Structures are given as C-alpha cells and as structure tokens.
C-alpha cells in the first residue's frame, strides 16, 4: 500500500470538519480538529476495515466516544471513499445519514450511537470481550475519548473491567485538548495524572504529543503489541488545532465558523484536499465455531408446587443457552439471587461477571449485540436505574438486549425501600421500542425467556423474590403483547388486572368474593408493553365498565398507566378504572405485611371491588 502523508491527510480532515459544520451552521469543528492527526495516522496505517463490507467479522471497530466530534468521523468516511464530498456537506440536515452525533440507524460504518459522554469505551469492552473470548478474532477496538468525558465514572468502570479481562485488543485514545464546553477540564493538560489513573486501573499508558504524527505512529505501533492489558494513549492536543484564531481558544465549543471565518481557516490550512486513503483490509478470518446446538428443552414446573420466577429465569437461560450458542449472559455480582449463575455453571465461557457496575453491565451487553450475540443482563431491578442513560442510548443505537430485574416491589420484604424497584416499569416503558414483561408463574417465565431470544430491541423482564404458586401447566403458551384470563365467567361484575405478585393476591381475593356471590374476572397482564388492548376492551364491555388495576409499583407510569393508555381515544366507552398501587414510602417488614400496608393485597382488592360495586 502506498505511504500516506499523514500531515496532508490531517489537514484535509480539519478542513472538511470546518466545511461540513459551516454548511450546517452548527456542530463541533474545534473538537474535531484537535484529534485530526490522531485519526489521520489511524486511518492511514493502522485501521483494518473493509468499507465495502461493514459487517466483516474481522473488521476493526472505531468508536467515537466523544460523539460530538463526528464531523471528524464523517471526514474520515470521505477520506476512505465511503461517502462523497457532496454527502459530507449534508451534515445535520433533515433526512441526512450524517446526524449531529453518530447513529447506526443511518450510518452502516457506525457501530453504536454516542453523544451521551462516557459510553463509547464501556461498549468497546463488550466488543473486545467478544473478539478475545468468543469469536477469537484479532481485530482491534479503537475508542476516541474526550478529556471532559473522563470525569464520568462509567469510563473507569470500563477500564477496570477491561483490565480484569486482560483486553489487550482495546485501545483508548484520549484527545487531551484541555478545553471542555465552558472552559478548562478538571485536569487540563496534566498528562501524568491521566496516565497514573489509567495505570492504577491496570491499563498500559502511553503519553504523547497528539499533534506529532511521528509520535502518534510510534504510539500505535507500541499499542498493538501490548498483551494482557488494555492500552491508553494520552495525547496532548489543542482544540481547534491548525488554525491560529481557533487553537487553544475558549468560546469555540459547539460553534460553527461562518462563511468568512471558514474561508480564512481553510486558507491557513492550505486549502481543500480530496485525498482518498486505501485503508488496510482485515484478514479474511471467520469467528471461532460456536458450540453445537441442542434441542430446546425448557424447564417445567408442576401445578400444585411453588417456585420463584427468578429461579425459572435462571433455569430458562440454561435451556436457551444450550439451543442458541449466540446467547451470552452478564450479571452485576448478584447472580446467586437473579439465578443467572445457573447459566454460568453450565456455560462458563459465555458468562461474564460485571461486578457492581451496572452502567458497564448494560454497555457490555450492547457491545456483544454489535457482534451478533444475544446478551441477557441481570441485576436487582432497582439498580438498573443507575444505568438508565445507557439503556436509553442502547435504544438509539438500535441495540437488541434483554434485561432482567429481580427483587422488584414491596413484596421483597425486610430489605426495605432502597432495594425495592418501584419505578422500574415506568422507566422501562419509557424506552423507545421497549418490551416490558412481568410474569407471575415459572412456566410462563421460561416460555417468555425463550421468546426474548429472537425479539429485537430493548426488553425487560421483571421478577419477584419469593416462591409463588405455579399457576399454568407446562403446556400453556404465551405471547408478547398477550395476557391470560386466569378467572372469568359470563357474569363477571368487575375485572381485576394484575401482574406478577399481585396476580396471586387477586386469586385470593377471587375466592373470598366468590363466597359472597361476587364474580370477578382476573386478567394476568404479564405483557405490560405492549399491552393486550383487545382483552382489556372486552373486559370493560363484559364487566360493566369496571376495572381495577393492582400493582407492586408506584402509581406513576406502571401497569395502571399502561391500562389507562389502552383506552386512549375510546371516547365515551372509557371504563371506570381504579388503580391500586404503592402510594406511600414503604419500610422493612414481612412481604405480607408490606403488601397489606401498601393496600395492594387481597384485602385491598376485596374492599376495592365492593366499593366499586
């Protein structure tokens, strides 16, 4: 391959970053210009990528964790011949593939959406884990970091886990340009401090002048030979580098140059260039052969027995893991409670412990998804709130991951409110395109876990702590968007809609009301999103327009609101809907005591039915 003039290529990347942001009248040219030399050397000599086949299994991965610098990324696409100069100048326009931050929805050369800082490196951990441990391919994962985002704790979760798993295929490039959005970053140009922190977390650190292409070349050459630990390259750069009135000047963050300023800057950079770089192709290698697939044999639980749905989740993971070799499982150091440890015992090579690092837990799952793996990630339901931004960004990334939150609601008992997820359904319902499931039965749980293997998007399975009665036979089937009529008759006077633990309370209420001659219908709304609108509307019609929703969750955004949403646009056919939910801050106590205090137990359901009638 012909030798690339790195300085000329870097100048082109700077010029094009200015041109496209000026055309858009918005964007981040100066944040792009600081890393131009770093990316010129990477593109011209070290990045192995087949632009005609973005899904080549042995392509390197390049993640712009500092996603606002995407004008530089798109300029690289142009320099590689992947997009035209005309398309480059459509940056940020409505309908353009080149959005204001990288987004795989529209750009095939982009693995994940970035822009919420601190997430690119954690996702890179998932990619690197797959390459080193599962696909066993020699590709590298290159992640461009901004110095401001290194203040995010998620970055250090990533370095910690990358060191724990000895991910020498993960190379972070820190664009230390000193200036953040409103002024100097917390460490400024203190390269030694960044290096000390990286080394303290187990990384191999290299400090360089990030505007010296020869020094960059030497650093990359060293980085690709490191074994047993991730690499951090701390590169001292200047925001707006290459243009005298921009370089290291405050007040230019997120500010495009006007036409006159752009012309002056481009002239100082030597004018427009249209170099096309012949990028190195990856070796034509294929992933390691997956384990042999076994026929699906979901676990079964006999009617008349008791089992916790969280245990059924773990048992089902083992079953789908045997059938689907692309399934991987992650946990946040509570696997003996979520029961994902069952999968870890059966398939230790596909189980990855993320410890108490929920942001990294979700990001790793996203990284595995980029590589075509189906990741199931579990922790206590309450703790997913720490990673909500990662979940939100996963949806923007068009990621497919399954999350399982155990120990949800007041029914967990004595641990108290810090461990009780009472917001999780609302949180997960709010995620774009998400699926939210809350099973009440172990056979139901196992069936749904199998459905999640092929379900696109973000899915969430909520599980309760204690053992409950088996309600459904192993032969029963379920569907996403469905529900089950647990009890019903032609003479039902009220429909009680429940999910998870409250289904069992509703059944107790049913027996007591039946002895009083009151007939109620019980709907197990295990699919909270999408919800079974048809069954709800039929119940409203057949039960005198009287519905009671009972849930182990705050009243805002949970099952009750999902039921209310199902009747939007129904006009004068909207039924009377009573919501029983957790209204006051719970404390510690036995599950039955807490359910009673929250007024979501059988007593409360009986009273609500009688009041409504």
Residue whose tokens read 């009747």 = 567
Q: What is the DSSP string of 114-169?
A: --STT-HHHHHHHHHHIIIIIS-----EEEEEETGGGGSHHHHHHHHHHHHTT-TT
Q: Which alpha helices (DSSP H) does 249-387 contain, by range?
A: 259-268, 309-323, 335-338, 341-346, 358-370
Task: Tell me if residue 358 is catalytic.
Answer: yes
How far apart are the C-alpha atoms of 472 and 448, rounded to whole Å? 13
- Cα separation, 166 vs 269, in Å, equals 41
Which residue has 């010296």 as its token pair?
212
Residue holding tokens 């990334």?
A: 397
* Residue 350 neighbours by CB distance under 10 Å: 22
Write a three-state SS string for 78-105: HHCCCCCHHHHCCCCCCCCCCCCCCCCC
For residue 588, give the DSSP letter. S
Q: Are 377 and 404 in contact (CB under 8 A)?
A: yes
- Three-state DSSP at 504 gives helix
Are the CB atoms for 13 and 76 separated by under 8 Å?
yes
Q: Which residues contact 238 (CB under 8 A, 6 or more apart)?
A: 34, 177, 178, 211, 247, 248
Decide: residue 377, CB within 10 A, 0-12 exposed, 13-18 middle, 19+ buried. buried
Q: Check: CB of residue 106 under 8 Å from CB of residue 70.
A: no
Count of residues in the chain? 613
| Pairing, β 484-487 against β 351-353 | unpaired
**Separation of alpha carbons 192 and 548, rounded Å:** 62
**Which is catalytic among the residues 157, 207, 238, 358?**
358
In the 8-state DSSP scheme, what is residue 46?
I
The answer to whether the CB of 446 falls within 8 A of the CB of 319 is yes
Strands 520-524 and 484-487: antiparallel
Q: Cα–Cα distance between 86 and 23 in angstroms, integer? A: 11
Number of helices followed by number of strands (H, E) in the chain:
22, 19
Burial string for 130-165 (b: 16+ CB within 10 Å, else e) reads bbbbbbebebbbbbbbbbbbbebebbbbbbbbbbeb
Catalytic residue positions, numbered:
358
């Amino acid at each position: 391959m012909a030798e690339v003039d790195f300085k000329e290529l870097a100048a082109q990347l700077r010029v094009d970053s200015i041109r496209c942001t000026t055309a858009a009248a918005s964007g981040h040219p100066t944040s792009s210009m600081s890393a131009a030399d770093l990316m010129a050397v990477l593109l011209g000599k070290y990045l192995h990528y087949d632009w005609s086949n973005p899904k080549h299994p042995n392509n390197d991965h390049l993640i712009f964790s500092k996603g606002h610098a995407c004008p530089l990324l798109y300029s690289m696409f142009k320099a590689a011949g992947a997009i035209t100069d005309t398309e480059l100048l459509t940056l940020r326009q409505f309908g353009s593939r080149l959005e204001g931050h990288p987004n795989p929805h529209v750009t095939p050369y982009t693995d994940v959406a970035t822009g919420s800082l601190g997430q690119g490196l954690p996702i890179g951990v998932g990619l690197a884990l797959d390459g080193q441990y599962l696909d066993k391919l020699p590709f590298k994962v290159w992640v461009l970091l901004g110095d401001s985002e290194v203040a995010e704790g998620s970055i250090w979760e990533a370095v910690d886990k990358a060191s724990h798993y000895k991910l020498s295929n993960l190379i972070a490039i820190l664009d230390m340009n000193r200036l953040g959005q409103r002024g100097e970053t917390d460490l400024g140009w203190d390269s030694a401090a960044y290096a000390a922190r990286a080394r303290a977390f187990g990384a191999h650190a290299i400090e360089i002048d990030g505007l010296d292409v020869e020094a960059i070349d030497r650093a990359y050459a060293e980085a690709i030979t490191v074994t047993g630990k991730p690499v951090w390259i701390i590169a001292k750069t200047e925001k707006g580098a290459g243009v005298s009135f921009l370089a290291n000047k405050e007040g230019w963050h997120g500010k495009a140059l006007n036409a006159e300023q752009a012309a002056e800057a481009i002239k100082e950079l030597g004018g427009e260039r249209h170099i096309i770089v012949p990028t190195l192709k990856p070796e034509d290698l294929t992933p390691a052969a997956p384990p042999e697939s076994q026929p699906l044999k979901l676990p079964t639980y006999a009617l008349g027995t008791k089992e916790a749905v969280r245990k059924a989740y773990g048992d089902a993971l083992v079953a789908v893991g045997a059938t689907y070799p692309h399934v991987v499982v992650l946990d946040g150091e509570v696997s003996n409670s979520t029961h994902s440890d069952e999968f870890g015992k059966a398939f230790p090579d596909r189980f990855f412990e993320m410890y108490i690092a929920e942001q990294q837990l979700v990001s790793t799952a996203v990284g595995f998804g980029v590589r075509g793996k189906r990741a199931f990630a579990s922790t206590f339901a309450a703790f997913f709130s720490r990673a909500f931004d990662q979940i939100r960004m996963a949806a923007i990334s068009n990621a497919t991951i399954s999350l399982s939150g155990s120990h949800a609601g007041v029914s967990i008992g004595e641990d108290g409110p810090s461990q009780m997820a009472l917001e999780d359904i609302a949180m997960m319902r709010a995620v774009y395109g998400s699926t939210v499931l809350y099973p009440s039965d172990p056979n139901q749980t196992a069936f749904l876990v199998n459905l999640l293997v092929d379900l696109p998007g973000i899915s969430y399975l909520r599980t309760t702590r204690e053992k409950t009665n088996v309600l459904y036979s192993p032969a029963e089937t379920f569907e996403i968007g469905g529900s089950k009529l647990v009890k019903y008759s032609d003479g039902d006077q009220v429909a009680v809609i429940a999910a998870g633990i409250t289904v069992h309370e509703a059944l107790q209420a049913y027996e007591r009301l039946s002895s009083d001659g009151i007939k109620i219908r019980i709907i197990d709304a295990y699919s909270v999103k999408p919800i079974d609108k048809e069954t709800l509307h039929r119940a409203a019609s057949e039960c005198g327009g009287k519905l009671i929703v009972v849930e182990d969750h705050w009243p805002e955004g949970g099952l009750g609101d999902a039921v209310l949403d199902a009747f939007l646009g129904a006009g004068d056919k909207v039924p009377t809907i009573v919501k029983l939910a957790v209204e006051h801050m719970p404390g510690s106590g036995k599950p039955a005591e807490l359910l009673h205090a929250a007024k979501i137990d059988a007593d409360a359901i009986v009273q609500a039915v009688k009041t409504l009638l």
